[in-house]
């Protein structure tokens, strides 16, 4: 951590723990950029799906996306641009989330995205979130937070979010998908989801995102 670099806050944690919501609130309150690293894995998954690749095609997915820009634009939700195409909505389906999780176990994919993410964080002034940001992407962040919540609460949050976006599914299916994703994200060999030393755990069961953000700001 350099004395002069503007603030970097890294928010880690499993699916549905509230990472995105809390990171966005922090970015707004503290006037920081918001970097959604999961959106980049999702963009890779979308490109892979369109190219007919599957969950085992990590090397090919990495090659496919090499040199293809994944960028973020303004807006709420923040726009995600894959080679200039707005894929903000297309990457938010459960299927793309599953493929993103499956492809994210492949080191070729991780290496490429982590390098891009490190570059995006280098100048500071950013809140980033994702399942490796406290351990790999920004281990020297000024503040490293791991959000948790019970499986039931996380599934319920994700289900409501999907319902709001008009995606029909059941709470049971969502809970099953999240449990599967937890398992995959936590047991992958390369950069598994875990609480590293020095990272502050914040349990978000029963507390709203603004209050979670209050607690994090209080830690600064
Ligand atoms: O946060 P999300 O649901 O948008 O992320 C989709 C998948 O991408 C997630 O299941 C695992 C992967 N991912 C990752 O491996 N590392 C990150 N920093 C962010 C996401």
Element (H, E) at 72: strand 70-72
Average pLDDT of the chain is 95
Crossing angle, helix 107-121 and helix 58-65, to 10 degrees?
40
Crossing angle, helix 58-65 and helix 37-50, to 10 degrees?
100
For ligand 1, the distance from its centroid to the CA atom of residue 216, given in whole angstroms, is 22
For ligand 1, the distance from its centroid to the CA atom of residue 3, given in whole angstroms, is 30
Q: Cα–Cα distance between 87 and 113 in angstroms, integer?
A: 17
User: Which domains are delineated in the chain?
Assistant: 8-219 (3.40.50.300)
What DSSP string runs through 145-205? EEEE--HHHHHHHHHHHHHHTT----HHHHHHHHHHHHHHHHH-SSS-----TTPEEEE-T
Q: What is the pTM of this model?
A: 0.93
Confidence of residue 205 (pLDDT cuts 50, 70, 90): very high
For ligand 1, the distance from its centroid to the CA atom of residue 129, given in whole angstroms, is 9
Pocket test for ligand 1, best of 37, 96, 179 (most atoms within 8 A of CB): 37
Q: Cα–Cα distance between 108 and 62 in angstroms, integer?
A: 6
Question: Residues lining ligand 1, judged by CB closer than 6 Å?
Answer: 15, 37-38, 41-42, 97, 100-101, 104, 130-133, 181, 185
pLDDT at 48 > cutoff 60? yes
User: For the residues 152-164, what does the mean pLDDT come to?
Assistant: 93
For ligand 1, the distance from its centroid to the CA atom of residue 220, given in whole angstroms, is 26
Confidence of residue 3 (pLDDT cuts 50, 70, 90): low
For 90-115, the pLDDT digits (tens) are: 999 889 999 999 999 999 999 999 99
Which runs of consecutive H residues, i.e. helices, occur in 5-83?
A: 19-30, 37-50, 58-65
Nearest to 148 by CA among 207, 210, 219: 207
pLDDT at 25 > cutoff 80? yes
User: For the residues 7-16, what does the mean pLDDT come to?
Assistant: 96
What pLDDT was estimated at residue 165?
87
Q: Which residue lies with its CA nearest to atom 15 of ligand 1? A: 104
Q: Which residue lies with its CA nearest to atom 5 of ligand 1? A: 38
Residue bearing the bigger pLDDT, 184 or 120: 120
What pLDDT was estimated at residue 2?
47
Q: Which residue lies with its CA nearest to atom 6 of ligand 1? A: 38
Q: Cα–Cα distance between 164 and 156 in angstroms, integer?
A: 12
């Amino acid at each position: 951590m350099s004395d002069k670099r503007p603030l970097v806050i890294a928010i880690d944690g499993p699916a549905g723990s509230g990472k995105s919501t809390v990171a966005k609130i922090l970015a707004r309150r503290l006037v920081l950029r918001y970097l959604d690293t999961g959106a980049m894995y999702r963009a890779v998954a979308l490109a892979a799906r369109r190219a007919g690749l599957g969950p085992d095609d990590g090397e090919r997915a990495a090659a496919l996306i090499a040199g293809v820009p994944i960028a973020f634009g303004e807006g709420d939700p923040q726009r995600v641009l894959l080679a200039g195409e707005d894929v903000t909505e297309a990457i938010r389906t459960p299927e793309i989330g599953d493929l993103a999780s499956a492809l994210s176990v492949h080191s070729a994919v991780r290496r490429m995205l982590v390098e891009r993410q490190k570059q995006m964080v280098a100048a500071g002034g950013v809140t980033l979130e994702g399942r490796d940001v406290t351990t790999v992407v920004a281990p020297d962040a000024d503040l490293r937070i791991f959000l948790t919540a019970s499986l039931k609460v996380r599934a319920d949050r994700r289900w409501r979010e999907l319902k709001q976006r008009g995606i029909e599914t059941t709470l049971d299916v969502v809970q099953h998908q999240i449990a599967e994703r937890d398992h995959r994200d936590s047991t992958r060999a390369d950069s598994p989801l875990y609480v590293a030393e020095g990272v502050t755990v914040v349990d978000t069961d029963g507390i709203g995102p603004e209050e979670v953000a209050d607690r994090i700001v209080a830690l600064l």
